Amino acid sequence: MKKHWWQEAVVYQVYPRSFQDTNRDGIGDLQGVIKHLDYIKTLGVDVIWLNPIYQSPNDDNGYDISDYQKIMGDFGTMADFEELLDKAHHRGLKIMMDLVVNHTSDEHRWFAESRKSRDNKYRDYYIWHDPVDGHEPNDWQSSFSGPAWQLDEATGQYYLHLFSKKQPDLNWTNPDMRTSIYKMMTWWLDKGVDGFRMDVINMISKPIDLEAGGQVPNGPYVHQYLQEMNREVMAKYSDVITVGETPDVQPYDAVNYAGFDRKELDMVFQFEHMGVDQDPELGKWRPKAFKLSELKKIMSKWQVELHGKAWNSLYWNNHDQPRVVSRFGNDTTEEYRVLSAKMLAATLHFMQGTPYIYQGEELGMTNDYDFNSISDYRDIEAVNAYRELVEEKHVLSNQEFIEAAHKMSRDNARTPMQWDDSINAGFTDEGVDPWIAVNSNYQTVNAEKSLEDVNSIYYFYQRINGLRHQFPVIVYGNYSLLLPNDERIWAYKRSDTKQTLLVVSNFSADTVTCDLPELGKIHDTLISNYKDDQGTTIRPYETKAYIYQNRSVDQQRSVFEV
């Protein structure tokens, strides 16, 4: 297997709207990212992934793009972006852009032309269909509630939108459209960006028979399109990174999308582990308690089945998921919040794959439990789901929906970054209203406080990032799960020809006796979130890792002591 720089890298995700406001409009901006480049660099990461900063009417927080080659005014100017790119590169940080090419905004010039007439040359840039028996072409549903088809009365046809009705899907069967996308991507790479995170990229190919209906499947040509994209764009640049967001895939799919010999993507984001605490019918809007054995089984499957064939993306958090310390950890006390945030970090980052840290994760930022009305929420997904499930279908009561949103809403990840204990958490000036409310715990949970505490979550992340860059076994070693049926302990090994990494994490508030022989013989920990090591006794939310040479257990000693 050829080694690539992105396998050894760590990515930090910035959601610009919520990162730092520098011009007092309540919205984060590119100058705000520039302001904190040293903070990001000090964390020990290699790449910054920027959520969309393109011109957009902002129906879906920037994922509805009206011009791919202009910067949204909320965020600044192209000069601001070029300054960010230059200053990031000066610090050895790469910039990965968010690429949204399954759909555009309905305000994009292409769509404005497309809807003018059936014979407009841009008509075929999108997916139009005649009515069937006087209604939508099929029964497909939008991911944001309601039908996935919108009637355009002027031309008498429906257009497809798998997300908001202001996000019409592009027609990838049109070679002219694909060429336009490739030219745009080339333009950004020539400007100096270092790669792309590709939004819902496995959805770009649609089924041939649109009238068949049923669940929206992936079309037959997605791999053909991605190989063409790689050939026409990515292969012409060295050292770029591509990660595809691919809902509903399994490891065998991922090997096709990101196999080392496929010439498509470098890695994918899979979502299987994000479903362990969701209802089969209502999904996130009826959350359930997760079983650790199920979470371990899923994550371990991806570790084993991709090893040597393709590359994993490792994440707990992003802009579409609730805060992990509130989800799989414990934020009920300050002690448990800190311990479980560190435990979750080590458990994930010592697996095989490229780790992604979402802004504020390194501080242990939590869900926001003060949003007690749907009017507090800004996310189109939550607003539409409330209208459908509470107001129209009466499936959930107002209180049931708000309780679910407290746990699962995407807005939990989008509250402003908590920089300090001043008004508005230092995100914006006093007297300015942030675009979404600041989490009320900012006086306890913030970057300034973390940077002053050598035992903070921030410095724990810094240490595990450093270890990743130091020990090849953490990057390339194989994976084997231990104690698969234990509902409190997640233990696994990573091994190469020279060393073995042993990781043991307690996902509970219980003190547990862990029946692993190695724990009675090794006492020099690589890293831990407790100050001492009690061997087989694993305390609440404890995590610890060891690296030892591949000799007999009686001879094993760690090679590094913190």
Label each residue of 538-549 as H, E or C. ECCCCEEEEEEE
Q: Which amino acid is at 287?
A: P
Q: Which residue has the tokens 């997640």?
A: 490
CA-to-CA distance for 290 and 268, rounded, in angstroms? Answer: 24
Check if the beta carbon of residue 347 is closer than 8 Å to that of residue 543. Answer: yes
Residues 6+ away with beta carbon under 8 Å from 396? 282, 285, 286, 389, 390, 404
The token duo for 213 is: 């209906």
Q: Which residue has the tokens 């905004």?
A: 105
Max Cα distance, the chain (Å):
79
Catalytic residue (one of 80, 199, 381, 411) = 199
Label each residue of 103-141 as H, E or C. ECCCCCHHHHHHCCCCCCCCHHHECEECCECCECCCCCE
Check if the beta carbon of residue 401 is closer than 8 Å to that of residue 395. Answer: no
Which of 81, 174, 165, 164 lies closest to 120, judged by CA? 174
Stated as kind and residue range, the H or E segment containing 339 is helix 334-349
DSSP three-state, residue 355: strand
The token duo for 256 is: 């096709």
Q: How far apart are the first and last CA of the chain?
A: 32
38 catalytic per annotation? no
CA-to-CA distance for 295 and 37, rounded, in angstroms? Answer: 34
What's CA 498's distance to the chain center, in Å? 33
554 catalytic per annotation? no
Q: Dihedral (C-alpha) 260, 265, 266, 268: value to the nearest 10 degrees?
A: -110
The token duo for 520 is: 């009675």
The token duo for 473 is: 């076994």
Catalytic residue (one of 80, 98, 194, 245) = 245
Q: Which residues of 536-558 are buried (b: 16+ CB within 10 A; e: fewer)?
A: eebbbbbbbbbbbeeeeeeebeb
Q: Which amino acid is at 405?
A: A
CA-to-CA distance for 283 and 273, rounded, in angstroms? Answer: 13
413-419-421 Cα angle (round to 5): 110
126 burial via Cβ count (<10 Å: 0-12, 13-18, 19+): buried
Check if the beta carbon of residue 336 is closer than 8 Å to that of residue 328. Answer: no
Which residues are designated catalytic? 199, 245
